[in-house]
Amino acid sequence: MAYFIGTDEAGYGPNLGPLAVTATCWQVSGLTTDLATILGDTVGTDTDQIRLSDSKQVFSSSSKSLLHLETAALVLLQQIGLQPQTVDELVQSLSPDADQIRDEGFWISSPDIQLPQQNTPEQLNGIAKAVATQLAQHSSRFVDVQSRIVTPSEFNRMLGQNKNKADVLATTTLEMIAQWLRSLAETDPHEHVYITCDRFGGRRKYLPLLHEILTDQFIERARESESDSVYIIREKHRKIKIRFVTQGERYIPVAAASIFSKWIRELTMLAWNAFWQSHLPDLKATAGYPGDAPRFKSEIDEVRQVLGISNESIWRQR
């Protein structure tokens, strides 16, 4: 038996809106540890399957459809007994710092977006049952998911701590990993843990970052290559292997994290646009990326000042 954790992000490039970083955790105890094999025919592109691959491929930016992201995320949430009815409930369920997010992400619950948006409960229940059955047949389970939603205010604060943009992503991700390792050490200290992270840009060396976050661990550098960087922690009863890989979405835990991050990012941007359009009905929506963000920022500026919303709470400095 072992735990497999995957991490990925969405919203790293935009100027507006949050950065979402997610970790998914799976427990595998059968003869095979390949989650793609374990999930079998429940993963695919048919309407009765969930899509677990790179969220950029799953999300249709042209049609703006969240259908496939929503299906995969809500089906996985059902595996752990969660059925959020609104975006605010989703944030409360997945984020350990939900109260701070609600304070700084003033737009998230105003108005609160209902879930599901593009599925019926009956559709989701049928797929969720099939996934649960498939996992149970292989003595495996989807353990949990956690998302860190970094608001523009928090993003800027981290930049102010002598961090660059890449450090913000790295620190956020590794702090989540550290939290998972502490939690599993308490609940199941004898089981090995295998962690896969999508690489942070072109970075190849992660040992200093790992030492900064996992201060009480002796970390072995196993490999640092073009395709992956691998580190090992050997404890008394368990081994922890941490990999930073290119094209991490090849692995189910990373793909699932990618799906959650992209879904959360898109939902919070729906709420973002709805908030500002409630004050400026003719305002064209934005995805928050550099090509369009300055236009949007300029058009909301007068209303922002009237509402007493600081520039730092909407605009990332980098």
What digits encode the pLDDT tens for the residues 155-166? 999 999 977 899
Q: Look at residue 112 in the predicted model and tell me its pLDDT.
A: 77
DSSP for 42-66 reads GBSSSTTSB--S-HHHHSBTTTTB-
Q: Look at residue 32 in the predicted model and tell me its pLDDT.
A: 74
- Identify any residues that bridge with 19 across adjacent strands, giving them in sequence order: 150
Contact 114, 176 (CB under 8 A): no
Report the C-alpha gap between 318 and 131 in whole angstroms: 40
Residue 63 has pLDDT above 70, yes or no: no
Q: How many residues does the chain have?
A: 318
Task: Give 231's DSSP letter.
Answer: E
Fold of 2-270: Nucleotidyltransferase; domain 5 (3.30.420)
Report the C-alpha gap between 259 and 271 in whole angstroms: 18
Phi and psi at 267, nearest 5°, equal -65, -45
Q: Look at residue 200 in the predicted model and tell me its pLDDT.
A: 87
Average pLDDT, the chain: 93
What digits encode the pLDDT tens for the residues 64-89? 689 999 999 999 999 999 999 999 99
What digits encode the pLDDT tens for the residues 103-132? 888 888 766 789 999 999 999 999 999 999
For the chain, which residues make up each domain, given as ranges? 2-270
